[in-house]
Amino acid sequence: MNPSPGNTKLPVGWYNIIPDLPFELPPDVQPSGAGPSGQPLKLQLPLALVRQSVGTEHSIPIPPKVADLYRLWRPTPLVRAERLERALGTNARIYYKYEGGNVSGSHKLATALAQAHYYQAAGARRLTTGTGAGQWGTALAVACQAYGLACKVYMVGSSFAQKPQRQTIMRLYGAEVVASPSPDTQAGARLRNDSKIDSGNMAFAVTEALEDALGNAGSSLSVGSGEAYSILHSTVIGLEARDQLAELGLAPDIVLASLGAGSNFGGIAFPFMKERLSGGRGPRCISVESSACPKLTQGVYRYDRTDGSGVTALQKMYTLGHTFRTPNMHAGGLRYHACSKIVSALYHNGFTEAVAYPQVDVFQSAVRFSQLEGILPAPESAHAVHGAIQEARRAEREGTQPVILFCLSGHGLFDLTSYAEYLEGRMENVTVGADVIATSLQHLPTV
């Protein structure tokens, strides 16, 4: 390990990319026929978060209490992967921003604390959420405990079974955790009776969490990935990395992060995109997705549902279709069928790139990275590791010497079942056929 110099301070504000976008974001659209006649609209989201999602300020101040909590583990280390560089024989300089050094083990705590702050200020007493691999659920449990809020987490059933330790740590912080589909909601009960439904869908978990929040006074749904405010809070990662590299007299040529719905990618990449958005040069920003859920590389840019409820607003985004069933694979945080409308629009307008890799290749790179650099990546983060290695190899072929920055968004110490499967040769690559995607896309809503 070679941590960066410790002079970098916590940023005073989050970076809001919206005023810098050289295009209009497509408006959200209410699905036709959603909700019974005359049903009141219940305002679930704190206005503070809405203001942040439509604001015109480039920097949104980090509230003092959130900053105090951030300082428990931030600024996070920026590390040069020198041993990896030597093993690859590359002239590229590879840096990673390590976000696993907090109790949740991932970058998700940056927005979880901010959201808990604003929900508490708005009078919420309890937050509900859906979680895939468990990083988000853990982060929200920790944040709710810090702000004195109750918390209920609907965890994708397959992850619930694979990762009992994730359940334990969420419960340590006072959260109630159930496997989704659960018998606790009408949506869950209906899904459990459907023989065609497997247990690996994030949209189901969010649908249950929404039903729970709407049905219980003082409860609100909190989600932690693709929303503009989630990405905004995560930009503390990229802002710190920018300052840390600047201390070294460097700026990245390539920025990579894995892509679930967008908070990890946007969190590290957005602060580096301002120059390119204004017509100048900037680093190539590459999102790395799983070949089992290739929304950017094989999806379409269309209006779709963000969850399975059928009542929330449709958003224009890259999607594989809300009925897409991600095959079983080991990066639960990358299972979501679509991605953030901001990340989607940036990709659609040519400001970012995307690649997809199969999981055996990804785990091979993760194990190599771990043995050389001393940190075991989460399966999601391992996609960025693999992407960085591919870019270093490309640089060798092209005779260039780029500065590569990637986000090591979490550790994999809760993912040892997956690593065991890899070591024992039982892991297989998972890809999705064009016919499967085409079938799913037939169910996109009409706008």
Partner 1 sequence: MSYRSVVDTHEMRHLVIQALIEHGGGGGEPAERITDEMFIGASGLGISSLALLQVLVRLEEQLGFTFEDAAVANASFATVGELVGFVSKLARGSGGSHTSEGSA
Q: Is 285 helix (H, G, I), strand (E, B) or coil?
A: strand
By CB under 8 A, residue 24 contacts partner 1: no
Q: In what order do the strands lie in the sheet with 126-131?
A: 176-180, 150-156, 126-131, 219-221
**How far, in whole angstroms, is CA 379 from its chain's centroid?**
13
CB of 26 to partner 1, least distance (A): 11
Structure tokens at 219: 């409860």
By CB under 8 A, residue 349 contacts partner 1: no
CB of 154 to partner 1, least distance (A): 20
CB of 96 to partner 1, least distance (A): 35
Minimum CB distance to partner 1 smaller for 313 or for 420: 313
CB of 195 to partner 1, least distance (A): 31
CB of 68 to partner 1, least distance (A): 20
By CB under 8 A, residue 278 contacts partner 1: no
User: What is the C-alpha separation between 211 and 184, in angstroms, rounded?
Assistant: 10
By CB under 8 A, residue 266 contacts partner 1: no
* Four-CA torsion 417, 261, 18, 24, nearest 10 degrees: 160
By CB under 8 A, residue 28 contacts partner 1: yes
Positions in 192-221 near partner 1 (CB under 8 A): 217-218, 220
By CB under 8 A, residue 447 contacts partner 1: no
By CB under 8 A, residue 39 contacts partner 1: yes
Contact 210, 170 (CB under 8 A): no
For tokens 């869950």, name the residue. 188
Minimum CB distance to partner 1 smaller for 124 or for 385: 124
Q: Which stretch binds partner 1 (CB under 8 A): 50-58, 103-111, 133-141, 267-275?
A: 50-58
User: What is the C-alpha separation between 368 and 318, in angstroms, rounded?
Assistant: 32
The amino acid that residue 132 corresponds to is G
Site for partner 1 (CB under 8 A): which residue of 10, 50, 150, 248?
A: 50
**Angle at CA 377, nearest 5°, toward 339 and 290?**
35
Q: Angle 416-423/359-373 helices, nearest 10 degrees?
A: 100
Q: Quick count: other Cβ atoms within 10 Å of Cβ 281?
A: 7
Site for partner 1 (CB under 8 A): which residue of 3, 12, 23, 51?
A: 51
Minimum CB distance to partner 1 smaller for 51 or for 71: 51
Number of amino acids touching partner 1 (CB under 8 A): 37
Minimum CB distance to partner 1 smaller for 106 or for 306: 306
User: What is the C-alpha separation between 380 and 369, in angstroms, rounded?
Assistant: 14
By CB under 8 A, residue 249 contacts partner 1: no
Structure tokens at 2: 């070679």
By CB under 8 A, residue 37 contacts partner 1: yes
Minimum CB distance to partner 1 smaller for 124 or for 169: 124
For tokens 């009776």, name the residue. 193
Q: Is 281 helix (H, G, I), strand (E, B) or coil?
A: coil
User: What is the C-alpha separation between 262 and 200, in angstroms, rounded?
Assistant: 19
Site for partner 1 (CB under 8 A): which residue of 12, 47, 420, 447?
A: 47
By CB under 8 A, residue 34 contacts partner 1: yes
Minimum CB distance to partner 1 smaller for 38 or for 350: 38
Contact 384, 260 (CB under 8 A): no
By CB under 8 A, residue 41 contacts partner 1: yes
By CB under 8 A, residue 54 contacts partner 1: yes
Contact 258, 366 (CB under 8 A): no
By CB under 8 A, residue 250 contacts partner 1: no
Positions in 118-147 near partner 1 (CB under 8 A): 118, 121-124
* Four-CA torsion 105, 110, 114, 117, nearest 10 degrees: 30
Minimum CB distance to partner 1 smaller for 28 or for 428: 28
Positions in 310-329 near partner 1 (CB under 8 A): 311-313
Minimum CB distance to partner 1 smaller for 146 or for 228: 228
Q: Which stretch binds partner 1 (CB under 8 A): 37-45, 271-279, 364-372, 374-382?
A: 37-45
Contact 220, 127 (CB under 8 A): yes
User: What is the C-alpha separation between 49 and 281, in angstroms, rounded?
Assistant: 31
The DSSP result for 67-98, as a single string, is HHHHTTT-SPPEEE-HHHHHHHT-SSEEEEEE
Binding site for partner 1 (CB under 8 A): 27-48, 50-51, 53-54, 118, 121-124, 217-218, 220, 311-313
